[in-house]
C-alpha cells in the first residue's frame, strides 16, 4: 500500500501473508502524519471530517514548533557557541595555503603556460596574470589540490575547518537554527 511507503523507506509489508494483517501495518497506516496519504489512497474520510483532522494536526504542529522554539533555542545557542569556540581554536592553526603551494611547486607544468620542466606553480601564476581559456580549468586544478590537502588532515580538524567556514554562518542561533538541526 502506498500509505505504508510514504516516508520513502520502500518497505511495503509485501513479505507478510495476504491473510494476515500484522499490527505493524495497522499502526503504520493509522499514524496521524499519514492522514493525507491515507485519504488520497483510500478516501475513507468524509471531506468535513478530513478538513477538521487536518486543522487539528496543523494546530498541534504549530504548538509543538512554538514549544521547540521556547525550549531549545537557548540550548542551540549554547552548543553553537561551544562549537564555534572549539572550532576556532583548531581551525586557526590549519594552513591549507602552504602545503597547496608546495604541492603545486613540486608538480611539473603541463607545458601550456610555462616551459616544460618548470613547476606547475609557474603555469598557474602565468594564468593568474593573464587569464586565458584555461582559467576556469586552472581554478578547478587548484581547488582539487586544496581538497587533497584538506582530505589529508585528521578528521576532527576537517570538521573544525568545515564548521568554522561553512556551518557557523548558517547556524545563527535564532529560529532558523531549529530547521538546520
Structure confidence by residue, pLDDT tens digits, 44-60: 778 888 888 888 877 77
Tell me, yes or no, whether 66 lies in a domain.
no
Tell me, yes or no, whether 80 lies in a domain.
no
pLDDT of residue 77: 77
Tell me, yes or no, whether 68 lies in a domain.
no
What is the spatial distance between Cα 45 and Cα 25, in angstroms, rounded to a whole number?
Answer: 19
Same domain, 102 and 33: no
pLDDT of residue 178: 47
Number of domains comprising the chain: 2
Structural domain boundaries, residue 4? 1-44
pLDDT of residue 28: 67
Tell me, yes or no, whether 132 lies in a domain.
yes
pLDDT of residue 151: 93
Tell me, yes or no, whether 86 lies in a domain.
no
C-alpha cell at 145: 589540490
Low-confidence ranges of the chain (pLDDT < 50): 177-178, 180-181
Same domain, 40 and 98: no
pTM, full prediction: 0.51
pLDDT of residue 9: 63
Amino acid at each position: 500500500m502506498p500509505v505504508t511507503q510514504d516516508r520513502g523507506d520502500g518497505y511495503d509489508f509485501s513479505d507478510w501473508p495476504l491473510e494476515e494483517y500484522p499490527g505493524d501495518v495497522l499502526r503504520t497506516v493509522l499514524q496521524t502524519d499519514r492522514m493525507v496519504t491515507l485519504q488520497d489512497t483510500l478516501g475513507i474520510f468524509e471531506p468535513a471530517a478530513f478538513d477538521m483532522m487536518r486543522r487539528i494536526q496543523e494546530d498541534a504542529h504549530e504548538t509543538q514548533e512554538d514549544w521547540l522554539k521556547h525550549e531549545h533555542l537557548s540550548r542551540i545557542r549554547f552548543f553553537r557557541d561551544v562549537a564555534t569556540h572549539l572550532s576556532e581554536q583548531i581551525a586557526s592553526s590549519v594552513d591549507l595555503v602552504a602545503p597547496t603551494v608546495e604541492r603545486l611547486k613540486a608538480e611539473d607544468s603541463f607545458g601550456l603556460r610555462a616551459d616544460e620542466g618548470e613547476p606547475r606553480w609557474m603555469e598557474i601564476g602565468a594564468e593568474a596574470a593573464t587569464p586565458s581559456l584555461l582559467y576556469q580549468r586552472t581554478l578547478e586544478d587548484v581547488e582539487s589540490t586544496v581538497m587533497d590537502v584538506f582530505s589529508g588532515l585528521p578528521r576532527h580538524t576537517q570538521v573544525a575547518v568545515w564548521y568554522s567556514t561553512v556551518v557557523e554562518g548558517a547556524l545563527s542561533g535564532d529560529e532558523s537554527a531549529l530547521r538546520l538541526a
